[in-house]
Amino acid sequence: MNAYADAIARLVADPALHKAQGAAGHAKAQTYQWDAINQKVIDTYLEVMDRRAKA
């Protein structure tokens, strides 16, 4: 947990790092196939709900 808090503190203390990391994250997110990812999430939720209903 300390490493996570330290990373957040670095981003807060360094606006240029914050901006660079944000831009890198946005660029990476643009490479994902969000429709397929969202469908997989929905399918998983439906599967879990179906299993719970049968239990």
**Type of residue found at 1:** M
The predicted model scores a pTM of 0.66
Helix H segments across the chain?
2-13, 15-29, 34-54
pLDDT of residue 22: 97
Alpha-carbon distance 54 to 39, whole Å?
A: 23
Q: Check if the beta carbon of residue 12 is closer than 8 Å to that of residue 18.
A: yes
Instruction: Give the pLDDT band of residue 27 (cuts 50, 70, 90).
Output: very high
